[in-house]
Structure 1
Amino acid sequence: MSILKKLLDATTEDLAGIYKELAETVGIDNAHEIYLHFKGMQMMFPRRFYSHKYIAQQIVKEREEGVSVRCLVQKYGLCESRVRQILREDNQ
């Protein structure tokens, strides 16, 4: 249990703005750790969680396993031409 929760017996309702939302998602202790590490900073989270390199590797791997391009397009949210480009670049 974090020092914050021990001392103040805080609930998510007691937290300011974004920290309330964060605590509701990951818990007060984890939200407090994030606060300690990043306080005062502005953060923007990219729409994609995984790197382009990782996604390309997964697409190549799954295509080699027989997954159709159409399924890869739907799974990774890319257009068909981009999936085919990734596959072509891997063959070079």
Structure 2
Amino acid sequence: MEVVSDLLQESYEQLNEILGAEQMLKVFEIYRGRQISFPMRLYDHKKVAQRIVDEYDGHNLAQLTHKYDYSQRWIRQIIRQNNEK
């Protein structure tokens, strides 16, 4: 299918610019007609919590905060909860 980019709906136009026509058409075929909402955070908080527990060494709170884009307060809470178990 040839894409006429100046006729695209705004959301498909943006996808076309970001992904290119071929990938945009794949997204169109899979998701057309559906309402899609993207979470504000890239990573799932439950999975991140387990990873933090695994990676925390007692001195790398700032690095984990930066790496996973969660607050130090939240990370401390996860570590505290894990220590209480």
User: Shorter-chain-normalised TM-score: which range?
Assistant: 0.7 to 0.9
Structure 1 residues 21 and 69: CA distance shift in structure 2, 3 A: same
Query: 1:23 pairs with 16, 21, 25, which one?
Result: 16
1:78 alignment partner, SS class: coil
2:35 alignment partner, SS class: coil
Aligned length: 84
TM-score, normalization: structure 1? Answer: 0.73
Structure 1 equivalent of residue 76 of structure 2: 84
Contact kept in structure 1, 2:43 and 2:68, CA below 8 Å: no
TM-score, normalization: structure 2? Answer: 0.78
Find runs of 4+ consecutive structure 1 residues off by over 6 angstroms.
Answer: none
Q: Distance in 2 between matches of 1:74 and 1:24?
A: 29
Contact kept in structure 1, 2:53 and 2:79, CA below 8 Å: yes
Identity of aligned residues (%): 32
Correspondences of 1:1-92 after superposition (within 5 Å):
4-5=1-2, 10=3, 12-64=5-57, 68-91=60-83, 92=85
Q: Which amino acid aligns with 1:57?
A: Q
Q: Which amino acid aligns with 2:62?
A: R
Structure 1 residues 50 and 78: CA distance shift in structure 2, 3 A: closer
Q: Which amino acid aligns with 2:40?
A: R
Gaps of 5+ in 2: none
